[in-house]
Amino acid sequence: MNSGYENLKQQIIELIHFLRSMLYPEIFGEMGYKSSDSLKSEARFVLIDSLRTVCDEGKDVEKIADEIFKQLPNVKALLDTDVQAAYVGDPAAQSTKEVMLAYPAFEAISIFRIAHEFYKLEVPILPRMMTEYAHKNTGIDIHPGATIGKFFFIDHGTGVVIGETTTIGENVKLYQGVTLGAKSFAVNPDGSLVKGIKRHPDIGNNVVIYAGATILGGNTSIGDNCVIGGNVWLTHSVDAGNTVLAAHERNEIFTN
């Protein structure tokens, strides 16, 4: 592993910019780049240098970089659905370009989806630095290890926390202040935390979670077509099709 960490934070910012420019050159692209090839070349240089900083010696960073670029079309396909979810799901949205340029949720989600590819390749440090950069800029904290389906929308967004082992299905909408977190932390006999276990909830398809709701625990599952009301605290699973209010559940769904 290289010891040259002093420039890593700036490299990560540059890398995020380059990769998002490759995904949406008409939105984020540099005016000075005359071709996608020149943009990719610059992105690859920063990516390889960053990988060499954080990866152990002997790790094939060229292969990792190739895989990242290979996955970018899939990342874009997912992000296109997220943009559509925001545009359709928010009556204040005037265009998809507004969503991409002005919505903090799109910034956080787009960086998360890139970082998630690094996480799946077991790249150390970089994916977490990417999502923490998004967290700093948007107030939205999504761990790169979370699994999130298509058509994902966070409305407003400030204060949203999504933990590492969270899974989220398709067509899910969160509001500000939602926490998908851990209920408690298992410990080893020596008192150290047990790592690598399921700690965060599973959220099904077509779920809406309103502002300030807290859902905790690796055994907690929210079924498809559920609505979770604002400021609800949940540490137990909810069957599909239920609406959960402050203290009870009902077999009906709110309408927006």
Find the helix packing angle between 126-138 and 104-120, rounded to 10°. Answer: 170
- Structural domains for the chain: 1-140 (1.10.3130.10), 146-256 (2.160.10.10)
Q: What is the pLDDT of residue 130?
A: 98
The pTM (predicted TM-score) of the whole model is 0.92
DSSP string, 173-219: EEETT-EEE-S---B-TTSPBP-SS--S-EE-SS-EE-TT-EEE-TT
Q: What is the pLDDT of residue 193?
A: 85
pLDDT in single tens digits along all 256 residues of the chain: 445 688 999 999 999 999 999 999 999 986 555 567 888 999 999 999 999 999 998 899 999 999 999 999 999 999 999 999 999 999 999 999 999 999 999 999 999 999 999 999 999 999 999 999 999 999 999 999 999 999 999 999 999 999 999 999 999 999 999 999 999 777 888 888 888 899 999 999 999 999 999 999 999 999 999 999 999 999 999 999 999 996 455 554 443 3
pLDDT for position 255 = 39
| C-alpha to C-alpha distance for 144 and 165, rounded to whole angstroms | 9
Distance CA 214, CA 202 (A): 13
Residue 225, classed as helix, strand or coil, is: coil
Half-sphere exposure of 157 (CA within 13 A, CB side): 23
Q: Determine the Cα–Cα distance for residues 190 and 195; give it in Å rounded to an integer.
A: 13
Strand pairing partners for 148? 168
199, 162 contact by CB (below 8 A):
no
